[in-house]
Amino acid sequence: MKITFFSTQPYDKQFFIEHNKHFHYELEFFEMPLNAQTVSLVQDATVICVFVNDKVDAAILAQLKEKGVEIIALRCAGFNNVDLQAADSLAIQVCRVPAYSPEAVAEHAMAMILTLNRKVHKAYNRVREQNFSLQGLMGFDLYGKTVGVIGTGKIGKALCRILLGFGCNVLGFDLFVDRELEAAGVQYLPLIELLQQADIISLHSPLNDQTRHMINSQTLKLMKKGVMIINTSRGALIDTRAVIEALKTCQVGYLGIDVYEQEEKLFFHDHSEDIIEDDIIQRLMGFPNVLVTAHQAFFTREAMDEIAETTLHNIHAILAGEAAELPGKLV
């Protein structure tokens, strides 16, 4: 049985080949993303394995069905790039990895908070140039600050625990209250109240019609002047143009993003010798109080092991008629 992978990097091959020793599937890897131009590469595959920026819309699903594809296996938690209704109508099953080391993403979000606050990235560059001045590097104590965590699933929950360990006042917003977090000291509030009270806001929500551009020109006005915003979830949770305007007026004092609305054209590839035509990302990176990482929050050995193992197990379970981690089951 053949699995065709799209948007693969050397590390994807390494971990999937290692974990496939238990399954013995035929694996085919393509570096390019799945889209209308590359779907023709699929030949004799039962399963297509895709990542966050692959396009799996109704038209592509119809072509995959004609090619005999039975399963779309997402090696990520989000599934906003897949037309689930079209897949269902074509009897193509879809599975995902709802939780791969939630601590990996939570710890990266915390690293971004600390880096922006204490300006570690600036200090590193200064010292390398023999500049040991502290001017312009002042931060603030995290202890006692109010941090709002939007989305308290497994990743948001892991971040809440970290923040509580720092002595922060942690606010949570989610459709479902986590009683364990509440007992630990997290206060759940309506979204508007969280936005108004938080010194730092970290996004951990899935991307859907209700959450797209949840951070926009109107919600930004509700926040404290100089608020820090962290996004390690999905780029389109933030209206990038609106946050640029808020950075210019200092309404947003710090921005840390590991995801970006138009990242599929940039992330996971080396553009160091290219002219980047995306004026929005160039504008963002021009701000001294903005930190951008290239969708690396998930990227730990533990997470990669879990992604490969769960993806292959999901495929095995579906083929065997057993339950797998399906997109409809949000975790």
Active-site residue numbers? 234, 263, 295
CA 118 to chain centre: 24
Of 69, 273, 305, 235, the C-alpha closest to 34 is 69
Residues 30 and 42: their CA atoms lie apart, in Å, by: 10
Residues 73/95, Cβ–Cβ less than 8 Å: yes
> Residue 55 has which token pair?
């396009």
Residues 257 and 230: their CA atoms lie apart, in Å, by: 6
Residues 62/90, Cβ–Cβ less than 8 Å: yes
- As to burial, measured by CB atoms within 10 angstroms (0-12 exposed, 13-18 middle, 19+ buried), residue 217 is middle
**The residue to which tokens 């809440």 are assigned:** 160
Residues 223 and 145: their CA atoms lie apart, in Å, by: 14
Task: Specify the amino acid at residue 235.
Answer: G
Q: Residue 134: which residues within 8 A CB-CB, separation 6 or more?
A: none
Residues 24 and 142: their CA atoms lie apart, in Å, by: 49
Residues 14 and 176: their CA atoms lie apart, in Å, by: 38
> Residue 195 has which token pair?
């936005």
Residues 241/232, Cβ–Cβ less than 8 Å: no
* Alpha helices per DSSP H over the chain: 10-19, 58-66, 84-89, 102-118, 120-128, 154-165, 179-184, 191-197, 217-222, 240-248, 279-285, 301-319
Residues 178/154, Cβ–Cβ less than 8 Å: no
